[in-house]
Chain A
Amino acid sequence: MARRSSTARTLVTTLAAWIVGGIIFFPILWMVLTSFKTELEAFAMPPSLLFFHWTTENYATVQSRSDYLLHAMNSIVIAGGSTLIATAIAIPAAWSMAFAPTRRTRDVLLWMLSTKMMPPVGVLVPIYLICRDTGLLDTRTGLVIVLCLGNLPIVVWMLFTYFKEIPRDILEAARMDGATIGRELVYVLLPMAVPGIASTLLLNVILAWNEAFWTLNLSTSEAAPLTVFIASYSSPEGLFWAKLSAASTLAVAPILVLGWFSQRQLVRGLTFGAVK
């Protein structure tokens, strides 16, 4: 930014930006703070911001009473598994569309994008019944398959926009030097494709981790990931704010960290390459 700004102006904009950022972030901060309070203090009026008796007992209770680790493991398997499979299917497709486009490539890409516009409730009934009849209801396998298919269009699009930016001249140079297609893949293209693939994996793990339509409808207990586990705190008799906050903090923290690392990829991935 080459704009000349006076010190006073910088101070004003800095202050305003921090206040706005603080307000937007506040609910998360409040959740984390509440997770360290006792249930009594969580309800206390007036609420205490920092000067309360800090305790970690909620975190222990969440694990011992509700088997938090099982649900965390479900989230990891479902988000990780669906992302890996989707990426494995998408890499060859995005690859060939980026490097050997045909007349139909554009249509195929737009068609894939349009599948994302179909609201999931449109196919809720058949997917639910298929899962019920094949014994996939409330299983990790069922959710891995459904989330994998749901995110596949985004994965293809993201990979496509990354692959398209790999310069073709390099390929030709390698070919002139007598590289076979196999060597070309391993030594020339793979290193250049890895950052794009990594970003795609990251963003899709985040999307799958937070997915809350199919997980809520297709799982109840055994395969329930954290989204469903947290939803169980919505029952009126289970309203323990400090424990809800502790469970929520645990569910959100890892993905928040991943998310902060992937800000740039987020813009690009979610806008299908339209904004970079």
Chain B
Amino acid sequence: MATQQTQTLGRILVAPAVVVLFVWMIVPLAMTIYFSLLNYNLLNPGAESFAGFDNYYYFLTDPAFLASLGNTLVLVGSVLAITLVLGTLVALLLDQTVIGRSIVRLMVIAPFFVMPTVSALVWKNLLMNPVSGLFAWLATAVGLQPVDWFAQVPLLSIVLIVSWEWLPFASLILLTALQSLDEEQREAAEMDGAGAVSSFVYITLPHLARPITVVLLIETIFLLSVFAEIFVTTGGGPGLQTTNIAFLVYSQALIQYDVGTASAGGLVAVVIANILAFFLVRIVGRNLEA
């Protein structure tokens, strides 16, 4: 449809973005691959030597790897489950007749705009502190023993904080989708005697399939790389209890200065993300005609 001339022009216009992104992706990735094959520690400059696949062996057989892989999956899985279930409920609630709905929607969406370091520190100190935190006060008020969140259930604490950050995203997207649902279809179903439950299962839920897969895909991309929340609250501890893959690679690179192992770990993280992305894109692809 386009003439030869506009096609050439088109290539010239697209080129800067493509070239810049290509360089941004390929050069560092190639360097990571190269470093991952070296014995290379920043504390020992000039002593680099070829290591073959030793770094991969060290990284993958390190007990820290399995622990952090487990933590990553628990973190991603629980936050997805929590935000999707609660997000659907919040969206259904806000889709009803609510006086002052736009204000409620502002309150629901707000946490998404809070920077991760603020969310994490506000939750850790003001809410979850075992002595002076608000949760501790609530627990004592109803006669319970206050929970020492970051000592007793550190990973759950991170899950709660990250869920709070991502619940608005899920709610807002599902609400937007619900509002585009044809009201007449639902009314017709009600006239035909469909109850609230069956109208939800047979009409609303299928309509939400696409936005839910979108939420699933996008949250997974971001949740695999959760970093700041762990960095400012637990530093991966106690022990390895809140270390995810992202944090493990960070600590090998910038705390132990072990460039070789960190690079191998970085590539393992890329592979894991790609495996998940592959399956997700297949699932999403069915619902998502780009």
Contact = CB atoms under 8 A, between A and B. Distances in A.
Interface of A: 1-3, 5, 9-10, 13-14, 16-18, 20-22, 24-25, 27-28, 30-31, 34, 42-47, 89-90, 92-93, 95-97, 100-102, 106, 108-110, 112, 114-130, 149, 152-153, 156, 206, 209-210, 212-213, 216-217, 226-228, 230-231, 233-234, 239, 241, 244-245, 248, 251-252, 255-256, 258-260, 263-264, 266-267, 270-271, 274-276
Contact of A244 (B17, B125, B131): B125
B228 A13 contact: no
A246 to B, nearest CB: 12
B173 A267 contact: yes
Contacts of A100: 2, 6-7, 9-10
Interface residues of B, number: 99
Interface of B: 2, 6-7, 9-10, 13-14, 16-18, 20-21, 24-25, 27-29, 31-32, 35, 90, 93-94, 96-101, 103-119, 121-123, 125-127, 131-132, 134, 137, 141, 164, 167-169, 172-173, 176-177, 180, 183, 187, 210-211, 214, 218, 221, 224-225, 227-228, 231-233, 245-246, 249-250, 253-254, 259, 262-263, 265-267, 269-270, 273-274, 277, 288, 290
Contacts of B103: 21
A266 B113 CA distance: 11
Contact of B28 (A126, A156, A209, A274): A126
B227 A213 contact: yes
A119 B104 contact: no
A124 B258 CA distance: 12
Contact of A96 (B13, B126, B168, B228): B13
B273 A119 contact: yes
A256 B6 CA distance: 42
Contacts of B214: 271, 274-275
A115 B277 CA distance: 11
A274 to B, nearest CB: 5
Contact of B270 (A1, A44, A119): A119
Query: 9 closest pairs, A vs B, by CB?
Result: A259-B113, A212-B228, A126-B31, A123-B28, A25-B107, A93-B17, A92-B13, A21-B107, A96-B13
B28 A127 contact: yes
B93 A13 contact: yes
B127 to A, nearest CB: 6
Nearest to B98: A17
Contacts of B10: 96-97, 100, 102
Contacts of A213: 225, 227-228, 246
Nearest to B288: A274
- Give the interface SS of chain B, mostly helix, strand, loop or mixed: helix
B183 to A, nearest CB: 6
Contacts of A108: 14, 18
Given A17-B93, A117-B277, A149-B24, A271 B231 contact: no
B104 A18 contact: yes
A127 B97 CA distance: 51
Contacts of B107: 21-22, 24-25
Nearest to B175: A267
Contact of B176 (A129, A152, A276): A276
A1 B246 contact: no
Contacts of B104: 17-18, 20-21
Nearest to B104: A21
Contacts of A153: 21
Contacts of B6: 100
Nearest to A34: B126
Given A27-B164, A92-B14, A116-B221, A152 B21 contact: yes
Given A14-B99, A245-B126, A256 B110 contact: yes
Which of B113, B121, B123, B221 counts the most A-chain CB atoms under 10 A from its CB? B113
Contact of A93 (B14, B32, B211): B14
A212 B227 contact: yes
B253 A128 contact: yes
Given A30-B126, A106-B290, A3 B183 contact: yes
